[in-house]
Structure 1
Amino acid sequence: MKLIRDFAVLLACLMVGKGMATLLPFSFPGSILGLFVLFFLLSTQLIPLNWVHDGGQLLLRHMRLLFIPVAAGLLGYADLLSDGLGLMISSALSGLVLILLVVGRLYQRMLS
């Protein structure tokens, strides 16, 4: 019964987020807005953490299984992904280096 309540709260936050996304004049993922709604409710303690803890733990424990359909769908685009693989790797590495440089510089400025 506790898991049903946990999933009901999580699903309600998701539905509220999707409803908010339809009202926005631009495209934004409703699931992200649902996470913001859940964060707001938990941080203001309108919903106690124990109402979503066990359901969230169950979802986190089985997250690998939830990503299998996404990974299988990506296999359909293997040729497209292999064409841009070099660009994706270089952009990820350059972004990593840029972030490290900026964070390092900010840390040095904070220390002095």
Structure 2
Amino acid sequence: MKLIRDFAVILACLLAGKAVAAVLPFAFPASIIGLLLLFTLLSTQLVRLDWVHDGGQLILRHMALLFIPVAAGLLGYVDVLSQGLGFILVAALSGLVLILLLVGRLYQRMVS
């Protein structure tokens, strides 16, 4: 019964995010809006953490299974991905280096 409540709260935030995304004048991912809404509700303690903890843990535990359909769908675009592989690798590595430098700089500023 607890998992049903956990999933209901998470699903309600997702559906609220979809409703907000539908009325926005620009495209924005509804799932991100739902996560921000859930974060806000948890931060303000309108929703207690134990109301979503077990359901969230179950989803996280089985997250790898949720990526299987996406990976299977990408197999249909192997030719497109192989053409842009260089750009993808450069973007990923430069993003990684940029994030590491930014986090290192921020940590140095916070410590000193």
- Normalising by structure 2, we get a TM-score of 0.90
Q: Counterparts in 2 of 1:88-103, with a 5 A limit?
A: 88-103=88-103
Q: Counterparts in 2 of 1:15-94, with a 5 A limit?
A: 15-94=15-94
Q: In 1, Cα distance between the equivalents of 2:42 and 2:107?
A: 31
CA-atom RMSD in angstroms: 1.7
Which stretches of structure 1, 4 residues or more, deviate above 6 A after TM superposition?
Answer: none
Q: In 2, Cα distance between the equivalents of 1:110 and 1:55?
A: 35
Q: CA shift at 1:110, angstroms?
A: 6.1
Q: In 1, Cα distance between the equivalents of 2:110 and 2:42?
A: 32
Q: Which residue of 2 aligns with 1:5?
A: 5
Where in structure 1 are there 5+ consecutive unaligned residues? Answer: none
Q: CA shift at 1:91, angstroms?
A: 1.7
Equivalent AA in structure 2 for residue 46 of structure 1: L
What's the secondary structure of 2:73's corresponding residue? helix
- Normalising by structure 1, we get a TM-score of 0.90
Q: How many residues align?
A: 112
